[in-house]
Amino acid sequence: MTSPILTLSLLSALTVTSSALLCTQCLSENSTSCSGPSVSCPPGYECGSSHTKTNVGEFETNSVARVCALPSECNFTGIIGIPLGKSRIAASCCNADNCVPAIPEFPEINNTLNGLVCRYCVTVDSDWCYTSETVQCTGKEDRCLLQRIKQGGLKNALRGCSTKSVCDLGGQTKTDGRSTTEVKFICTDAGISVHKVVLTPAIVSLLLMKIFS
């Protein structure tokens, strides 16, 4: 006779197994697609794809990341703006083993000033930065953002403008088996008083937002 406890354990295991998707995990910095190993996702996750399009002057770069994603991370769009350019992010998901999410539609770039002025800084050796430099926000960029990233022993930070959707992410921690990436989005909806906007032509790399790092 089968033990009721054993029966419940088997049913539980079957439920977890049947609800876990297999999804591709990969990252490409200069493409709109990528390929990689298939991994088993936690129950309740979907196969997610996060695309980032960065525009700096006349130059445009694309990157994509595919991993297991929570449903709340799907159908996401957002913009981060700094003096050098803008990064637009769009995410999509699908719900079948090793499925390929459709490439989402990016939010439109709107360069019309909206009156919000935010601090601007970027650092690649700390998860904190603060300077007197500022950036004038445009379009739907209605929040001042501090983005803090920790990945293994690496840290970086960025201040600039963003849409509310980016701020609503709050914070995320992702582990890929080799390292853990912690991302925090800290925002305010109030700008700063400024008499002169300083746009320093410093050569820095845009810290590309990865929703699915």
Q: What are the sequence ranges of the domains in the chain?
A: 21-188
pTM to 2 decimal places = 0.75
CB 150 within 8 A of CB 181: yes
* Cα–Cα dist 89/61, whole Å: 12
Closest CA to 25 of 1, 45, 4, 3: 45
Instruction: Tell which phi-psi region holds residue 212, choosing left (phi > 0), alpha (psi between -120 and 50) or beta.
Output: beta
Closest CA to 213 of 184, 176, 188, 161: 176
> pLDDT tens string for the chain (213 positions)?
433 333 333 333 333 344 689 999 998 888 888 999 999 999 999 999 999 999 988 889 999 999 899 898 888 999 999 998 999 999 999 999 999 999 889 999 999 999 999 999 999 999 999 999 999 999 999 999 999 999 888 999 999 999 999 998 887 777 666 778 888 999 988 765 433 333 222 222 233 333 333
* Cα–Cα dist 80/164, whole Å: 10
